[in-house]
Amino acid sequence: MRNVDSFHGFLARQERLRALMESRRISTLLLTNLTNIRYLTGFSGSAGVAVVSACQGILWVDPRYTLQAREEAHGVEVLEEKGGLLKAAAGWLRTNRVREAAFEVAQVTCADFDQLARETRSRVKFRPGGELVEALRVVKDREEIGAIRRAGALTAEVFEEILRHVRPSVREADLAAEIEYRMRKKGADGVAFETIVASGRRGALPHARATSKSLQQGELVIFDLGAILSGYAADMTRTVFLGDPGRPVRRLYKAVVQAQRGAVQAIRAGRKAADVDAIARRNLAEHGLDRYFIHSTGHGVGLEIHEKPRLARSEKGRLRAGCVVTVEPGVYLEGLGGVRVEDTVLVGPEGAEILTPASKERWVIS
């Protein structure tokens, strides 16, 4: 049943792509972005090139991936190629007398472009096709939401388990390793990014890596973690304190949690992405903390850990039902450390649903 479902899911994505291609007057699209190929066909190998036209789809793979592609890929003919995948696709375009083909702007290098011109003997006109598949990926379908929901639940579960190991003298790197080990044991494909455990002053670095530093009493500790399940990522951050935080740190933590909650509550389909960012900033400003919030409020999550849309001042668009985004305000104070709270949320018509349901209340570890 699942397979039938996913089969139709991939065909539906290809149909949406063809409709989009038609509206942009693109008859043939050359796909070189592997994430986009995976999104459209299900093929998860590390090398492949595809062509999609109004009535055809072809995926070229090298012999390492022939069996895998035949098992995984839906809605495309799989062709094995030993002499270079781009060359094979170009040869196909030439012999099928394709006059014009669009390519993925973010992927094709100058060297690729030269090769395409050479192999097609300049008989095919190549033009930039924008980011068509990325545009489709902004709104997740049922299968994708299911995968992110499972990845989010697993991520939250691992964090709640790991809390028992959080105490003075434990090393950041050991906690990060334990988190990643437990994700694997629970069935994750892997981690969506290198797990962050940043304690004390190191917490003031938003993208600190876990080091051999030991946790100490009286420190804030930031955990930023995310599992991948069925190819889809989750992204979650929690901050804890070792010992008695005292009034100033309590106020700091509460301000960030409130800012995060306010932004999550503002999310619904139709809302401008930039508005959500503004609300997080305004909430922090009420506590005089907005100048310590030095990144955007969130980003899309899916097959990649950073996708569209961003929740940022510069983002023009509106959120749509089925978008999955993070909401992650944080404050970073040099010399003291940082507080960040992040959830991955699903945008719905009436509001947001949190997909990383770990507690934010149990943050004081004494």
Nearer to Zn ion, 30 or 236 (CB): 236
Nearer to Zn ion, 144 or 224 (CB): 224
- Least distance between Zn ion and beta carbon 237 (Å): 5
- Least distance between Zn ion and beta carbon 43 (Å): 27
CA separation for the pair 268, 42 (Å, rounded): 29
Nearer to Zn ion, 72 or 307 (CB): 307
Comparing C-alpha atoms, which of 267, 236, 251, 233 is closest to residue 346?
A: 267
Interface residue list for Zn ion (CB under 5 A): 224, 235, 237, 326, 342
Nearer to Zn ion, 224 or 307 (CB): 224
- Least distance between Zn ion and beta carbon 359 (Å): 17
- Least distance between Zn ion and beta carbon 80 (Å): 38
Nearer to Zn ion, 33 or 326 (CB): 326
- Least distance between Zn ion and beta carbon 168 (Å): 25
- Least distance between Zn ion and beta carbon 335 (Å): 23
Nearer to Zn ion, 78 or 346 (CB): 346
Centre a 10 Å sphere on the Cβ of residue 14 and count the other Cβ atoms it contains.
Answer: 19
- Least distance between Zn ion and beta carbon 234 (Å): 9
Angle at 111 between CA 33 and CA 79, to 5 degrees: 50
Nearer to Zn ion, 307 or 342 (CB): 342
